Amino acid sequence: MTAPADPIRISDLTVKPVPTSKKLIQFVDAQIDGAAVEAQWVGGNGKTRRATFDPPLILSFSQSLTLNVQYQDPPRQCWPNRPKHQTIVLDERILRSAAPMAHDQRELQCRQGKIELLVGLSTSDVASKPTENPDLLLPVTDEILRICPWFRILVIGKTGVGKSTLINKTFGVTDAVVSHNARGDADINKEIFSSTNDKFVLHDSRGFEPGEEHNVEIVQDFINQRSRQPDIKDKLHAVWCVHYI
């Protein structure tokens, strides 16, 4: 299974008419997969609406940002000037096409009809600036996932104890090879990603057998090798020991 990409972090968003248009933007409503995004849009001349997000908006795997833009054409005397709406959807593929700018920023410029968008993106290893509102409580998980987007678990246990079955059932995968009443052929270096939560990365190991030390050495070498990884998401974060009750 392919490793999931890092989350997308949106630091700012600008909505404006294209230079040749005389449209006047009245307001912008933003949503992530149907959930409203709280934003303070600035710019009162009808030509630009801009919002800054600190901490950045986080879009996880397969999520999309939807913008509902209300605007008016220039006033005319011959017919009523009714508000119009345009819906713009920015999916993961579009957002990841952003061009690099500074070492920690990327920017996406795109045009949808008569509307032009500028989307500022932060790279995954850049910390958010401290919020200006000291009373605003932010989820601890947001900070944890910013630092470490994956949680890596090694599953160990005796032969036949049901490690692979437990991995498949608990994390909704089929990658762990089940072998009944005999040692399986699990590859400890293979990364198994959960289909129910792409933040988990599993490693299955061959079962321990009495009087056999080779697999113990493989597990010890794997743990030592992971401890030397420079990136925290590549380190080993937990060992799950499975045994009969």
In sequence order, the 6+-apart residues with CB closer than 8 A to the CB of 96 are 5, 8
Average pLDDT over residues 133-139: 51
Which residues partner with 15 through β-bridges? 49, 117
Per-residue pLDDT reduced to its tens digit, 160-204: 777 777 777 777 766 544 444 445 567 888 888 776 666 788 888
Tell me whether the omega of the peptide bond preceding residue 139 falls within 30 degrees of 0, making it cis. no
For the chain, give the mean pLDDT. Answer: 76
Q: CATH code at 95?
A: 2.60.40
Domain range holding 55? 8-124
Residue with tokens 């032969």: 159
pTM value is 0.47
CATH of the domain at 238: 3.40.50.300
Is there a single domain that holds both residue 111 and residue 189? no
Residue 122 exposed, middle or buried by CB count within 10 Å (0-12, 13-18, 19+): buried
Same domain, 120 and 150: no
What's the pLDDT score for residue 126? Answer: 42
DSSP 237: -
Which pLDDT does position 221 carry in this prediction?
Answer: 92
Kindly report, residue by residue over 216-236, the tens digit of the pLDDT: 889 999 999 999 988 888 889
Is 68 part of a structural domain of the chain? yes
Q: Is residue 141 part of a domain?
A: no
What value does the mean pLDDT take over residues 109-138? 65
Instruction: Between 131 and 17, name the one with better pLDDT.
Output: 17
